[in-house]
Amino acid sequence: MEEYLYQKEYVMLNNMQLHLSNPEPMLKYIDEKVEKLIKAKSKNEEINIKLEILDEFYKILKYDAKNTICPEPLGYFETKEEKDELIKKKIKINDLVYYLGNICINYHKKLISKEYRGRVPIITNVATIKFNEIYIRALNEYFEVGEEAKFARHKRVFEAIHSGINEIGLKSVIKREWQSGLVVSVQYPEDPNWDFEKIHDYCYERGFTIYPGKISTEDTFRICALGEIEVDDIENFFKVLKAALNHYNVTLPMS
């Protein structure tokens, strides 16, 4: 059995909150993954480490659902299945926060600290984002829609994005088999008439948004598969994108 899989034991505190009494193996795992991400020598290596984390997290979820020791939940339940389902949901939520949440937070803290030579900069809040509210809404959707149904929707949307890209003649930056299925990074077309700001504004005025790229070595923009969108939304987006490219005389299909 993999070292990162172990039996967790939760206890109920006086404030009725669940507390993990044996977090040491998990904390060791988180530190190792964060250190591995920090030491990644290329973008591809970083992506592979993130995929490894997600793959292992899926195994952790399955293992913890069967093996975690958890106090009996309070309240009335009509069936044992209803009670067991609530326990499984609590374990899933805690795993999401403990593993993916802490890896993400600690990784970005270290990146910032590294960039500013050990000093985390003080940032003055101009606007407040209610991360807790966003997080709770995302979790509610996750449990209401269901894991398999949500993944199937993301996959449909992801395939529709690639169909639209291929039809127009654009190219994605990252190999298809390495992509997460959530965001697609697209290369700028090699046409002198291409202007990201103009194309962005044209699409935005018609209800769609493309995002600037995050890859420092190439000029890219991003198409997102996240949110409550379906295949017909993506198809309508590509109609607008194609109209924008024609409007600004960007040659189709791209080479």
Place of tokens 């930056």: 173
Tell me the per-residue pLDDT of 15-59, one tens digit each, with 9 for 90 and over: 667 788 999 999 999 999 999 998 888 888 888 898 899 989 999
The answer to whether 108 and 121 have CB atoms below 8 angstroms apart is no
- pLDDT exceeds cutoff 70 at 121: no
Q: State residue 185's pLDDT score.
A: 86
pLDDT, mean of residues 213-223: 80
Looking at the whole model, is its pTM more than 0.85?
no
The proportion of the chain whose per-residue pLDDT surpasses 70, expressed as a percent, equals 80
- pLDDT exceeds cutoff 60 at 120: no
SS3 annotation, 70-133: CCCCCCCCCCHHHHHHHHHHHHHHHHHHHHHHHHHHHHHHHHHHHHCCCCCCCCCCCCCCCHHH
